[in-house]
Amino acid sequence: MRRTPSLSSLRLFMQVAITRSFSETARLANLSQPALSRTIKLLEEELGVRLFDRNSRNVALTPAGAALLPTVERLAGDFDLAFEELQQTFAGQRGRVIVGALPSAAAHFLPAIIAEFRQTHPQVEIILRDNLSGALYQQMLDRLIDFAITTPPGSGDGFRFDPVMDDECVLVCRRQDADDIPTPVDWTIFSSRPFIAMEPRSSVRLLTDAAFAKTDLLVRPLYECSQLATVGGLVSAGLGITLLPLSTLPMLGVGGDVAWRRMAPPRVSREIGIACLENRTMSPAAEAFLGTVMAGLQSILKTDCSIR
Residue-wise pLDDT for 178-212, tens only, equals: 988 989 999 999 999 999 999 988 888 988 998 99
- 286 pLDDT higher than 90: yes
- 81-135: pLDDT as tens digits: 888 878 877 777 888 999 999 988 998 889 999 999 999 999 999 999 999 888 9
For the chain, what's the residue count? 308
Could you please state the CATH topology (level 3) that the domain comprising 167-269 is classified under.
Answer: D-Maltodextrin-Binding Protein; domain 2 (3.40.190)
Closest CA relative to residue 287, chosen from 138, 139, 95:
95
pLDDT at residue 252 in the model: 86
d(CA 133, CA 301): 21
List 61's β-bridge partners, or say none. Answer: 52
Confidence class for position 305, pLDDT limits 50, 70, 90: very low
List 167's β-bridge partners, or say none. Answer: 270
pLDDT at residue 254 in the model: 64
Confidence class for position 62, pLDDT limits 50, 70, 90: very high
CATH 1.10.10.10 residue ranges of the chain are 7-90
Letter for the amino acid at 144? L
Average pLDDT over residues 241-261: 86
pLDDT at residue 56 in the model: 72
Q: Which CATH number fits domain 7-90: 3.90.740.10, 3.40.50.1950, 1.10.1060.10, 1.10.10.10?
A: 1.10.10.10
Strand, coil or helix: 225: strand
The structure's pTM equals: 0.70
Could you please state the CATH topology (level 3) that the domain comprising 95-164+270-307 is classified under.
Answer: D-Maltodextrin-Binding Protein; domain 2 (3.40.190)
For 121, 139, 280, the CA distances from 135, given in Å and listed in that order, are 28, 6, 18
Work out the mean pLDDT of the chain and round it to a whole number: 89
